[in-house]
Every structure is written in C-alpha cells, then in structure tokens.
Amino acid sequence: MSLRVGAHASIAGGVDNAIDEQREYSGNCGQIFSHSPQVWQDPNIGDDEAEKFREGAAEYDLGPWVIHSSYLVNLCTPKDDLREKSVDSMQKEVDAAAKLDVDYVNVHLGAHTGAGVDGGLDNAASALDELDVPDGVTVLIESDAGSGTKLGGDFEHLATVMERTDQDLEVCLDTAHMFAAGYDLSTPTAVDETLAEFDDVVGADDLACVHLNDSKHECGTNKDEHAHVGEGLIGADGMRAFVNHDLIRDVPLVLETPTENGKSFAWNVERVKELRE
C-alpha cells in the first residue's frame, strides 16, 4: 500500500473545504471535527456540502477520513446525564460519517471519575453497545496519555473494552499519547518492543489509524503536548523506525502537530514522506 498521510483539516465554511485544505498540505487522507469539539453541538452538515465532500474525496483519492468526536464525550463516566449526552453525541457522529462516506469515528474512552478502572471500562463498553453504527462506519477507540482517571493509556484498557462490547471496534494509536503513557518509541528497539506488545495485547489487525505526533515531554510523564515530527522527544530515529515498521506501513497516518516555529501541517506531511523508506 502506498503511504497514506494527511492532517486534521478545518471544516470552516463547509465540510467540503476540508478537501481543498488537505490538498494544500499535500495529504492524501485526513481527519475533521463535525462541529466545535469544545461544546455539546450537533453536526450541521448540509446535503450540498456533503455531496461536494464525497465527490472531492473520490476525485482526488483522499482517504480514509476520520471524524474525531467531541472532547466532552466521556464513555467511562458513572454519571447518567453525561453518559446520555455522550452516547447521543456519538450517535450523531457516526450518522454524520455515514452521510459523508467517512470510514471512521474516533473517540477517547474518557475518565472513570471514581468508578474505578474496571467500572469505567464496563461503562465504556456498555455505552458503545447503545450505538446504532451505520454500515461502512467503524468506531475507533484511541490510546490516551493516561493522566488522572482517564482510561486508554494502557493497551489492556483498549483490549478490555473491545472484548466487553458487542460493537466491532478498531483502534487508533496516538504516538504522543503512547509515549506520554510510558510506551517508549524513541529508538528502533523501543518501537519494536512497544508495537510487539500492542500486537500481543490488542492485535495489529485491529489497528485502523495512527495519530502521528511527536512529544514535547518525556516518556511516562502523562503530559499530552504535541511536537513536530522528529523534533520532539520521540525524535527522528524513533519516528523513522515507527513509520517504516511492518505493523504500521499500511496504516493511514493523521497528523495533529502544532503550527509554530514557521512549520505547519504541510511541513510535517513532507517530513513523514522523507522519513518513509
């Protein structure tokens, strides 16, 4: 499979604008929010812009695409009202994905806030069971940096939710989150060991997408702050080993890198292409 790498694109002015933005980055896959991720809000995607998005993605061979769910969604919560809002929000996201012919909806498991790890994972699995996921759409659970009571930082958390739910889930690994959670990626040996552990615990066959981000903080700090590819504490050697690893080569890579120091998504897309051997 040829390299699939792109970035998170804005839908300002209409979701179809994400197509042109992705092309400006020289990306060939990508991610969007269907609305502001900081508030409870329903996707508001018109039929015309949805058609333009679908046509543009097909015309320029841009895909797969991912919708990233709202940051407010908490599948692990023991609170009934927050659970209800989270499930409702996720249902609207998977329906929006179907409307756009988007393959994936990505979600963080959330925080158990006192329910305990096992209780939180149970809550997440049962919340996901409430979704009516349209054909052609898959929910991805994302690895987390693991601060506080947030779950998903441990590969076992991802595997447990996948075992306990009836949904056919897949996984999105975030390199900065993995690193923050204590999975070293800074050397070729560390990459081999971390991905072997992921394959053993979760299964590489269920890896559908990677958020490719370097980290501004040391391994195991639980601090989630992204850096330009190869310029953070994972570094060029780790990133090169990761993007060329046998378990990763056919997986689409989506950048959530910062825009700073004169470098933006376009720079990072080109950097990934340079690292790919």
Torsion of CA 218, 220, 225, 231, to 10 degrees: 40
- Rounded Cα distance between 264 and 158, Å, is 31
- pLDDT computed for residue 261 by the predictor: 93
Cβ-contact 91, 139 below 8 angstroms: no
For residue 2, what pLDDT is reported?
A: 87
Averages of pLDDT over runs of 10 residues in the chain (277 residues) are 92 97 98 96 95 98 98 98 98 98 98 98 98 98 97 98 98 98 98 98 98 98 98 98 97 97 97 97
Q: Is 235 helix (H, G, I), strand (E, B) or coil?
A: helix
- Which amino acid does the sequence have at 193? E
- pLDDT score for 266: 98
Which pLDDT does position 150 carry in this prediction?
Answer: 97
Domains and CATH numbers, the chain: 5-275 (3.20.20.150)
Q: What is the Cα–Cα distance from 116 to 76, expressed in whole angstroms? A: 9
User: Taking a C-beta distance cutoff of 8 angstroms, is the pair 54, 15 a contact?
Assistant: no
At 1 the pLDDT is 54
